Amino acid sequence: MTMQASQAGLNAFQDKRFGMMICWGIYAIIAKQEWVMHTDRIPVSEYEKLVPQFNPVKFNADEWVRVAADAGQKYIVIITRHHDGFSLYDTALSDYKITNTPFQRDPIGELAEACARNGQVQLGFYSSLLDWHHPAYRFRQESGLAWSDYLDFLHGQVRELCTNYGEIACMWFDGDWPRHPIDESNAYFQAGGSFEYDKLYDMVHTLQPHAVIINNRHAEPLPGEDVQNFEQDLPGMNTAGFNESRIYDYPLEVCMTINDHWGFSAADHNTKSTRHLVHLLARSASVGANYLLNVGPNAEGLINPVEIERLRGVGDWLKANGESIYGTRRGVIAPTNVSVSTRRGDIHYVHVLDYISDSVTLTGVPEGITSARLLQGGAALALIRSEGKVVITIPEASRDPFDTVIILS
């Protein structure tokens, strides 16, 4: 029987509510996002020429962790190997890795140490299930390798990540698309075969019993997967292909970009506003989902200053309103076009995101609720019940520019 994460691990993961994904690799040199090897049809032999060029001398693990902490993010999911096959840590299973670049250092190890020093942010790992570089994955007949050779590599790398860097928050898998058209150019998966999830997941849960397993390519979690993930989507919104009757049976996570790309793209200046990011965080929490927000550092190892500014803006809002996000669960008050809710036990938090009028009208408010007050400052607000609805008026001077939080009890 496939194992699951411990209940303590599941609870701790949900309590975090806000995390940072870091999409970084040698593709940052080209500065056209992380799929550039595929989109530009770059042959392996040409793509490998990026390795001796990669020297991110401005990378500072403590600074990256500090950015996450200042944003109020409680965990980081760092890409250890993306689809291009380049490992961002000192793996013993491949020479195609960052310690064989001019940089020579292991940024994953440095991030693990920085998280331990910071004490507020836990590290988790992303690992690609596919690999456009590995000859066993690509089924080159002349390689003499079999699918089992690739599985040994994949499982072996996950074992390294679960063994060498202390206790982690999660293992985040991506890329389960056998025989997908994107793989046709190299005849991937001609011989078929699975990733042997049962063995892979049991290994993770044995080595890291509190770490949750996330796979964002499965419409419903497989045995051993602990979290249902949504990419660039909020549960209950554009959920085509998902089993909507089962969505809320699992802890949830929403992963989104801060602009339009995951990996660094020099031409992408479409950075989301702080207000919009706060709204996405509140809407995610309201459906019981963590919000995993991506940054894509450049080839020097720097996070975009504009992204840092927006993240710190979210962090400033959380300093005053974090009680309504961290440790909460899915709200029971019906969402409207201007408000959503979260809850902690019998305490309910209404997030007022926009103002059509001076009042917000709510349905589904539990009968035992008799009072309303502002989270910031604690001022009491008038609460009127009428015909199954609750109407609360919020003075204009008391409104938060991003998200006004009301406590109902």
pLDDT digits (tens, 9 = 90+) for 11-39: 999 999 999 999 999 999 999 999 999 99
Please report the DSSP string for 375-390 in residue order: TTT--EE-EEEETTEE
Tell whether the model's pLDDT for residue 181 goes beyond 60: no
Average pLDDT, the chain: 93
pLDDT-derived band at 186 (thresholds 50, 70, 90) equals: very low
What digits encode the pLDDT tens for the residues 359-377? Answer: 999 999 999 899 999 999 9
Q: What is the pLDDT of residue 216?
A: 84
Measured CA to CA in angstroms, residue 319 lies from 208, 211, 399 at distances of 31, 27, 16
Residue-wise pLDDT for 218-269, tens only, equals 888 899 999 999 999 888 666 656 677 777 888 999 999 999 999 999 999 9
Calculate mean pLDDT across residues 129-136. 90
CB count in 10 Å sphere of residue 39: 11
pLDDT bracket for residue 139 (50, 70, 90): low
Determine the pLDDT at residue 188: 43
Is the pLDDT score of 104 beyond 70?
yes
* Position 350 pLDDT exceeds 80: yes
Tell me if 266 sits within 8 A of 306, measured CB to CB: no
7-328: CATH class: alpha beta
State pLDDT tens for residues 199-211. 999 999 999 999 9
pLDDT at residue 238 in the model: 63
Identical fold, 7-328 and 331-408: no
Give domain limits for the chain: 7-328, 331-408
Mean pLDDT of 140-153: 81
Measured N-to-C along each axis, helices 147-164 and 197-207 cross at an angle, to the nearest 10 degrees, of 10
CATH number, span 331-408: 2.60.40.1180
Helix axes 274-286, 305-321, angle to 10 degrees: 50
Of 314, 346, 299, 370, nearest to 26 by C-alpha is: 299
pLDDT digits (tens, 9 = 90+) for 281-339: 999 999 999 999 999 999 999 999 999 999 999 999 999 999 999 999 999 999 999 99
73-85 pLDDT, tens digit per residue, is 999 999 999 999 9
